[in-house]
Amino acid sequence: MRAADILTLTKSGLYCAAGDFYVDPIRKVPRAVITHGHSDHARAGHGAVLATAPTLDVMEVRYGPKFAASRQAARFDETITLGEARVTLKPAGHVLGSAQVLIEVQGARLVVSGDYKRARDPTCPAFEPVQCEVFITEATFGLPVFQHPPVKDEVAKLLHSLKLCPERAHFVGAYSLGKAQRLIAELREAGFDSEIFVDAATAKLCNVYEAHAVRLGRLSLLEEKLPSDLSGKITIAPPSARRLFADAEYEPVTSFASGWMRTRKRAQQGGGELPLIISDHADWNELTQTVLEVSPGELWITHGEEAALIHWANLNGIAARPLAIKGYGQDDVPPV
Amino acid sequence: MNRFAELMDRLASANDPELKQRLRADYTSGVSEAESKIAQGILNRTLKIRRLKLPLVRGLAESRLDPVLFALSLKYVGDAAETIALLWPARHGANRAPSLAEVLDGLSTLGRSELPKRLEAWLDACDAKGRWALIKLLTGFIPSDEALPTKNSEQQTGTLLPAQERSQPGRVEALLMYVEHGRSRSSDLICTFGVWDKGQPTPLAKVSAGQWREQISAFASAHPGRRFGPVTEVTCTPDIALMLEVEYESLQPSPRRKSGVSLIRPKLSRLLPDRPASSAATLPDLLLRLPAHQRRAK
């Protein structure tokens, strides 16, 4: 068995014939292993789902209790046999519950890393490099221009702005799963212990974090407040919640937290008055460092800015190929 | 340098005059009087600065990085100075970032042969924003909207665009909002796309799904919204949405449309399934691409 034969790319996503399961399938399938709860990886309607307990909880919060016919929670490092395949989940450091999937078939080893990062995150265990013959990586920030600054510096900018404009509300646009909770936890570590306002969807996911022993401190529901209550406070919610601040008298300092804020064009398009470069994906240095640590014979790239990473891998003697999952037309379209 | 760069950056994105005033005061209180005077001189363009040629700076960057990686990065970012600033590989043990005074002093005292080495050390010591400001300062391209922060916003944006009748061809990162099946039997899929406006998706125009019909159709059936006859709404939130890159030949003001702008010959150029929906273009951003005299207050 060659490691490269463990998975094949089908219309529904990556399929393991030896264990008869898919990893993060993009269509409904009888059996799925899910790396983490973001909606492009974790979909509703599969038959059996294997994932970490926090990921299953996130799916239930998002899709309701019937999101799959059956579910099985796996602990990190616990090996589960599916048909002829041995499956072990390893921390990916992306969001709460996020896992890499190590698949072993007759001694051959392949790792699907899902989405991951290497920077410290107080809300989830750190990524563990796992040696394997085939390593499947993302490349969301797969260009050398993407180098995320230390998150503490970005959090300090937000707190400094609050000092500079103590009478204004501070609205930070962030994903409801992962980014929001990480930012809250980082604010707490920086000594900010006032209440933080979140929208209802983010609050539900914060409850999942709390249930898994991630302490987020005092949170209040944004929807229950008047604009005047938010002056001098920090609100963290998806960008669409910005509309709740319609009253011009209480115009907030608007911020957006994303790795895309690294380039000026993006920051000026959507970063508000205070763009923050905070990402839950590996930057260029983290991607290349990880590949060197894992030292696979072959690198497969699921999605993202893959051309530069493939070129870099080839320079380093590693065979690399794009999977172009979700129908990327990379051959005929140049990067932006 | 880093502080000055941060100030320029914040001034460029601040809309509120009161906030701009506080940012300037905050900067001034954190640096020496001499440093603050230099900053003022740069911002109001009264300071004469020795210029360097961009290829010199570019040569330094290219000597540190593989040319293919540099080219791919430049293609993505679009601006050479910014590309160099962003991808400049960090070197351990770099000094603290130079002050504006140190940079000016170096420029006036160093000879032609000594300067590249000093510049390299400065770039090593700055953060990405500091490098960007340093390169722009040395090559003489501090953007005018950032140099004149006290001007009102209409004047600022006016200086960014060439004065011509039609807007340039361009592309926009848009959100998939609705799909409908084509009228003919040819099983084409028509996509309505939009951009963010005040946090809500606002429709712009329609394009054919073309070669991406299957992927778009799969996304639409996985995330269906309300149905209006042949038209199906597609989930479009900052959390779940499909991003499309749409090219157009030009933009025209269109008071009849909700968006206030029409795209001439829009064409889907690719899907961006991995981009966060919240980073899609905004309507104000798109309206800024109209020639200044065609813009109207929304």
Q: pLDDT tens, A126-159?
A: 999 999 999 999 999 999 999 999 999 999 999 9
- Residue A190 buriedness (CB in 10 A; 0-12 / 13-18 / 19+): middle
Provide mean pLDDT across the span A222-230.
87
**Token pair of B76 as six digits:** 């993505």
Chain A residue at shortest CA distance from B246? A336
Chain B residue at shortest CA distance from A143? B73
Nearest CA of chain A to the CA of B10: how many Å? Answer: 7
**Which domains does chain B show, CATH number per domain?**
2-145 (1.10.3260.10), 163-294 (2.40.50.140)
What is the per-residue pLDDT for A209?
Answer: 98
B77 CB within 8 Å of a chain A CB: yes
Nearest CA of chain A to the CA of B251: how many Å? Answer: 18
| Structure-model confidence comparison of residues B276 and A45, the more confident one | A45
Q: Which residues contact B35 (CB under 8 A, 6 or more apart)?
A: B99, B100, B101
**Token pair of A273 as six digits:** 């008055």
Is ipTM beyond 0.95?
A: no
- Asked whether B196 and A239 are in contact (CB, 8 A), the reply is yes
Put simply, the answer to whether B279 touches A266 (Cβ < 8 Å) is: yes
- Asked whether B272 and B243 are in contact (CB, 8 A), the reply is yes
A240 CB within 8 Å of a chain B CB: yes
Q: Give Cα B74 to chain centroid, integer Å.
A: 14
Chain B residue at shortest CA distance from A263? B77
Q: Which residues contact A271 (CB under 8 A, 6 or more apart)?
A: A255, A256, A258, A261, B13
B21 CB within 8 Å of a chain A CB: no
Nearest CA of chain A to the CA of B127: how many Å? Answer: 9
**Token pair of A170 as six digits:** 């501070």
Look-up: residue for tokens 């960008």?
A239
A248 CB within 8 Å of a chain B CB: no
Average pLDDT, chain A: 92
Put simply, the answer to whether A239 touches B196 (Cβ < 8 Å) is: yes
Provide mean pLDDT across the span A179-189.
98
Q: Please give the sequence-ordered ranges of beta strands (E in DSSP) within chain B, or none if there are none.
A: 170-181, 189-197, 200-208, 224-228, 231-234, 243-248, 250-253, 261-264, 267-271
Residues of chain B with pLDDT under 70: 141-163, 165-167, 182-186, 292-293, 295-298
- Asked whether A273 and B14 are in contact (CB, 8 A), the reply is yes
> Is it the case that residue A181 has pLDDT exceeding 60?
yes
Put simply, the answer to whether B269 touches A333 (Cβ < 8 Å) is: yes
Nearest CA of chain A to the CA of B270: how many Å? Answer: 7
Put simply, the answer to whether B13 touches A268 (Cβ < 8 Å) is: yes
| Structure-model confidence comparison of residues B46 and A323, the more confident one | A323
What is the per-residue pLDDT for A268?
Answer: 78
Q: Which residues contact A95 (CB under 8 A, 6 or more apart)?
A: A36, A37, A38, A123, A124, A177, A178, A181, A182, A280
Q: What is the pLDDT of residues A263-317, one digit of tens each?
A: 988 887 777 899 999 999 999 999 999 999 999 999 999 988 899 999 999 999 9
- Please give the model's pTM, rounded to 2 decimal places: 0.75
Put simply, the answer to whether B278 touches A239 (Cβ < 8 Å) is: yes
Please tell me the least confidently modeled range out of A34-43, A115-124, A162-171, A244-253.
A244-253
